[in-house]
Amino acid sequence: MKGKRITRDTVEHIAWLAHIELSDEEKNLLTEQFNKILDYFEVIDEVDTENVPPTYHVLDLVNIFRDDMPENPMSREEALRNASEKEDGFFKAPRIV
């Protein structure tokens, strides 16, 4: 394992911030796991990406949405047809205070 960057004190502080109680065994385990994750990031950092263009998605996608074409709107009666409760031509929902 390369140099530790996450200490047990750091894990305890994170647990305190998250209001999580951890046993001594869990603190030791999480310290080890966090450091293994950071070590793996160092391995990833070694990959040569000099000629790799930046991307936001792994697949070369373009706009996959259909064109937004205006159509005739649904009638009020049709929109309210399956409403469990309606009042004065509107959906009726329970009052939330």
Domain of residue 15: give its range.
Answer: 8-45
Residue 29 included in any domain: yes
Number of domains in the chain: 1
Classify residue 1 by burial, with Cβ atoms within 10 Å: 0-12, 13-18, 19+: exposed
Tokens of 88: 């004065």
Model pLDDT, residue 34: 95
Model pLDDT, residue 35: 94
Residue 21 included in any domain: yes
Q: Which of 12, 42, 16, 49 is nearest to 27 (CA)?
A: 12
- Tell me the CATH number at 35: 1.10.20
Backbone angles phi, psi at 5, to 5 degrees: -120, -25
Q: Which of 32, 46, 44 is nearest to 1 (CA)?
A: 32
Model pLDDT, residue 3: 57
Residue 50 included in any domain: no
Residue 78 included in any domain: no
Residue 37 included in any domain: yes
Residue 1 included in any domain: no
| pLDDT tens-digit profile, the chain (97 residues) | 455 689 999 999 999 999 999 999 999 999 999 999 999 999 998 999 999 888 877 787 777 788 888 999 999 999 999 999 999 999 999 888 7
Residue 81 included in any domain: no
Residue 34 included in any domain: yes
Model pLDDT, residue 65: 83
